[in-house]
Amino acid sequence: MSLLEKELSVSKPLTGQIALVTGGSRGIGAEIAKELAVQGATVIINYVSNIEKAQQVVDEISAFNPNVYATQADVSNTEDVIRLYEEIAENYGKIDILVNNAGITRDSRFMKMTDEQWHEVISTNMNSLFYLTKAALPKMIEQNYGRIVNISSIIGQSGGFGQTNYSTAKAGMIGFTKSLALETARHNVTVNCVCPGYTYTDMVAAVPEKVQEKIIAKIPAGRFGKASEVAKAVRFLVVDGEYITGQCLNVNGGMYM
């Protein structure tokens, strides 16, 4: 079933809601943007530099939901985030759904890891979480409604060789989620994590085939995940997760339980 056919065949529970998806120009972020748009949300796709990729996602979504926009911001920079939210407030008035998906890897064995590799990953993957949520939360509390979904990773749960920086950021995201959920539950603002396993994106596609085979051998489901499967988990938490908060939803084919 095409996205257009799917859009026509289901109700639109998110109609009238504004969703911001960071890192939404490709991979998992792009699929999340599409899934929320299918549900009727107005979707703002954040990208940092690749306007061509972001526009491709906008064009694809526009075929079935005209309420989709791309906006540039470096979410690791607090001043850029403030500018982004001022722009959103002026044009849309609010954010109902925040998906913190932006993330990078700078893998290296710890003894060879540079300060730059450490700070770049922590800043993009972790500091952005603070800046974006800090900006979005007051309006959510004021309107007594909000959905925050943070895209963590199996690496934040199990660790990863040569990924001390990435694992630290993604594990910190889980702690952030659980603590913030305690503060916001009474305001009808849910905060949850989705933890993808090895998902077939451009990053995985670039891994040598022999390495891919070794990874798949460790996955009980016997294959990589799909970005669309992660997006469906986000949709569930946003659409049907009104009594779910502070949780980690694992989408990993049984690799980590």
Residues classed as catalytic: 166
Q: Which strand (E) or helix (H) includes residue 205?
A: helix 202-205
Strand order from edge to edge, sheet including 42-47: 68-72, 42-47, 18-21, 97-100, 146-151, 189-196, 248-251
List strand residue ranges (DSSP E) for 15-66, in order.
18-21, 42-47
82-115 burial code (b ≥16 CB/10 A, e <16): eebbeebeeeeeebbbbbbbbbbbbeeeeeebee
Token duo for residue 7: 């859009």
Alpha-carbon span 44 to 59, nearest angstrom? 13
Alpha-carbon span 104 to 126, nearest angstrom? 10
The CA angle 15-62-40, to the nearest 5 degrees, is 10
Strand partners, 250: 195
The CA angle 151-209-165, to the nearest 5 degrees, is 35
Token duo for residue 254: 């049984």
